[in-house]
Structure 1
């Protein structure tokens, strides 16, 4: 073919799908000279008319991906008026899905991209939870959506990771009587802090099991009941001072505790 082929890609979203399909098709032809012109976020008839007018004077094909019926109909009508070849990528697929599933598509543009954005936000939240786990870096306190505080083995890390999968950025800080408290905890709203506590007997059992799993003597002070009571007393005072909500995680699964935290966050307009 001597004349350059102009492939116009129109979309109600970013148009990446249409462009990739057009490139895949073009790759099947030898010595093809072509140019792709992508037009994303098409939403008005005037945009379509201007593009079709330009394409009419060239050796062109219109490729479009849209889930908005009005846009699709306008493109088809205008292409037929100008005798321009066109390809509707989405409609045959939507029709087939409808035939198999029996329900109607939502006809909302950009849905896949929003799903991708949620995925990347979730990955970022997980990375955040890892970076600011166990008080590693107190700078995360001000950046977090919520901060979990509590003594050791009150499910701070599992909860942080579970909430991260819900796209919530979580930092967690261990409360240890001998360790200085990060000043950043007093610089944020108490609504963004969640205190975690547990029954001392239950905590004693959990810590003893933890020591066993590490091959250590379970008589260490870490699992000593008096020491646990001291830590819990210290943590209670800190939580009262911060005036933050407190959850007893003793007999709760991570999912249950996370559900309570998210409900509190919703009540405080944090999510």
Structure 2
């Protein structure tokens, strides 16, 4: 593929599942696939618009539609227009029908209805954003997990990843010139985790960060002596708190998150994810 190919992802709900599946497949074809997402399709008019656009762009339609009349219309019209329309849900649904010997209710958006997990996830993400990077230390006492560490130790990505697992996470940067908030020493130490990193790895990450910002790599931010000073200061704070510490130098976000949860569970922290 030399030019960008378009895939229309169509759903009678949010369409997260369909989009993730299409992205997974598209990733195998480099960066030449553009995904256009059409959610909450409710009538034939919506589908006609998608079919017209897909025909004009010579595109694929991938869909998750459970309303029989809409699915039938899309299959028929796409076939007449010579458009490839892929049903991402029906093959598995048919397997369920055969296995369980029962019919589905075929009602869209059921995953969202009364889904406590969904609302807890939203709440946790909002919490992580609000209490990111020490913005408001009042949130520390309400957090399930508190992450501390110097800049560029993955505090924010970890907070967001854990938030999607429904944990309320706050994080606090440790900077030698700024005293940590008193609230940090008031929370139970078994829900606090310190993140450390090797000086060389941190230097590499910060140098790259400066380049991406278009700044000189000679800045104090990436200076090795400065980094050593920050790390020494951070470790003193972590020892003072008595919290567990994880070296994130060569770990993926997912790996570190799993370690955090296992470590806190072992130490008796009450986790609500």
Determine if the alignment matches structure 1 residue 161 to structure 2 residue 156.
no
Structure 1: distance between partners of 2:243 and 2:254? 21
In structure 2, the CA distance between the partners of 1:99 and 1:240, relative to structure 1 (3 Å rule), is: closer
Check whether the contact 2:112–2:118 (CA below 8 A) recurs between aligned residues.
no
1:233 equivalent in structure 2: 232
TM-score under structure 2 normalisation? 0.59
Structure 2: distance between partners of 1:112 and 1:130? 25
Structure 1's consecutive aligned runs of 4 or more residues displaced over 4 angstroms after TM superposition are: 96-99, 111-115
Check whether the contact 1:134–1:172 (CA below 8 A) recurs between aligned residues.
yes
In structure 2, the CA distance between the partners of 1:104 and 1:203, relative to structure 1 (3 Å rule), is: farther
Structure 2: distance between partners of 1:258 and 1:200? 21
In structure 2, the CA distance between the partners of 1:214 and 1:102, relative to structure 1 (3 Å rule), is: same
1:25-79 deviations in Å (ceiling 9; x for gaps) = xxxxxxxxxxxxxxxxxxxxxxxxxxxxxxxxxxxxxxxxxxxxxxxxxxxxxxx
In structure 2, the CA distance between the partners of 1:181 and 1:99, relative to structure 1 (3 Å rule), is: closer
In structure 2, the CA distance between the partners of 1:151 and 1:269, relative to structure 1 (3 Å rule), is: closer
Unaligned runs of 5+ in 1: 1-95, 106-110
2:216 equivalent in structure 1: 217
In structure 2, the CA distance between the partners of 1:178 and 1:269, relative to structure 1 (3 Å rule), is: closer
SS of equivalent residue, structure 1 residue 205: helix
Determine if the alignment matches structure 1 residue 100 to structure 2 residue 107.
no
TM-score under structure 1 normalisation? 0.60
1:121-170 deviations in Å (ceiling 9; x for gaps) = 00000000000000000001111001000000000000000000000000
2:252 equivalent in structure 1: 253
In structure 2, the CA distance between the partners of 1:243 and 1:118, relative to structure 1 (3 Å rule), is: same
Larger Rg: 1
In structure 2, the CA distance between the partners of 1:188 and 1:101, relative to structure 1 (3 Å rule), is: farther
Check whether the contact 1:197–1:248 (CA below 8 A) recurs between aligned residues.
yes
Structure 2: distance between partners of 1:218 and 1:270? 43
Determine if the alignment matches structure 1 residue 135 to structure 2 residue 134.
yes
Check whether the contact 2:121–2:166 (CA below 8 A) recurs between aligned residues.
yes
SS of equivalent residue, structure 1 residue 161: helix
CA-based RMSD: 2.0
1:266 equivalent in structure 2: 265
